[in-house]
Amino acid sequence: MAQLILLPGKERSALKQRHPWLFAGSVGRLEGRARPGDTVEVLADNLRPLGRAAYSPQSQIRARFWTFDPEESVDDAFFKRRIAAAVARRQALPELRGQPGLRLIHAESDGLPGVIADQYGDTVVVQLTSAGADKWRKAIVAGLVKATGCARIYERSDSDVRGLEGLEPTTGWLHGEAPSMPLAIDENGVRLAVDIAGGHKTGFYLDQRDNRALLGQLAAGKEVLNCFSYTGGFSLQALAGGAAHVLSIDSSGPALAQARANLALNPQLPAARAEWQEADVFQALRDFRKDGRLFDLIVLDPPKFAPSAAHAERAARAYKDINLLGFRLLRPGGLLMTYSCSGGIGLELFQKIVAGAAHDAGRDARIVRRLAGAADHPVALNFPEGEYLKGLLVQVD
């Protein structure tokens, strides 16, 4: 096994913080030969063993730790153990038992860097974003089948981040065959179709499950504006909660078409109270401002504006702009549910951005609740850089 030897003083993050990433600037030399995705021994400059990691020569993240135990073998049995532990972690939480839509593996937070796995009924969708995860595809699939008993596994390894690892996009069935009927899940009493082949991420945003339920509890009698509505998860929960009217805006025509189809799956919901608008959200909100239109409850759930800390400044301006527009469209006493999934924007910075937007909008506002991802989307204490959901429920005077 090849050895990755660090520069002097660069072992601190691995020894003390157990951070799973080793950046190129921390690496002194590679002794031996290693191909992309191969497991290498990581050593401090004094040759003290630090653990074993997946090597990625084309990425600025030169290696991702599989284990901080220098004696632990990284083999098929390793992935079987890690996957079984991740699945058991979810099964141990009462609120997740029986959920038809569930995140099974959350990459670094489950000790499996570059591995995402979501379950929709008897179908699992896996996304492999690192060279190491790609290398162990067969073992990961076998571990998922063993741990879940799923009927089929579909791969959605088509995110842009694979390019940074020197990997090509790849999609398709890895286990079992395509289902005879379109996939759908029941979430908080609402039926939702899931497009695992063409939808965002693995087909759906499972991390917002609890926040969609909260919106349903808040929506009774309110005029709701759902921005970046995608396939209507928030919108349908608002209707189920008794909203007087729900306007959903997204720039994607196909996403809105799926949202309408999702509404049709729920004949118990008042379809006449739903309005769908294909538009640029920023421009639509400016137009509402000019027209003097106001809302009781606004949801801002944009795509990530900052894929990394290097994009944080530009992203902060975008978050400031969209929240400023949102605050200006709220009636007195209105509520703003605002989110960020950008890895480059932490919760503390996001809160400052939202506070600044409220100030510039001339609104007195207070945080009613901090909002996070669902229980099946954990955040590792040693890995705060992940693209974890951060949100705020804010009320204005």
Which amino acids are annotated catalytic?
Answer: 341
Rounded to the nearest 5 percent, the helix, strand and coil shares of the chain are 35, 30, 35
What burial letters (b/e) apply to 55-65, b meaning 16+ CB within 10 Å?
Answer: bbbebebbbbb
Given the DSSP bridges, would you call strands 245-250 and 49-55 parallel, antiparallel or unpaired?
Answer: unpaired
Given the DSSP bridges, would you call strands 245-250 and 223-227 parallel, antiparallel or unpaired?
Answer: parallel
Bridge partners, residue 153, by sequence: 124, 175
Element (H, E) at 334: strand 330-340
- Supply 86's token pair: 């991740």
What is the C-alpha separation between 130 and 152, in angstroms, rounded?
Answer: 22
**CA-closest candidate to residue 21, choices 309, 228, 300:** 309
What is the C-alpha separation between 273 and 270, in angstroms, rounded?
Answer: 6
Number of C-beta neighbours around residue 148 at 10 A: 18
DSSP for 116-161? EEEEETTEEEEEE-SHHHHHTHHHHHHHHHHHH--SEEEEEE--TH
What burial letters (b/e) apply to 169-206, b meaning 16+ CB within 10 Å?
Answer: eeeeebbeeeeeeebbbebbebbbbbbbeebebbbbbb
What is the C-alpha separation between 349 and 354, in angstroms, rounded?
Answer: 9
Q: What is the DSSP letter of 280?
A: -
Burial class (CB in 10 A: 0-12, 13-18, 19+), 397: exposed
- Supply 213's token pair: 């339920």
Instruction: Give the distance, in angstroms, between the CA of residue 335 and the centroid of all CA atoms in the same chain.
Output: 24
What is the C-alpha separation between 385 and 114, in angstroms, rounded?
Answer: 13
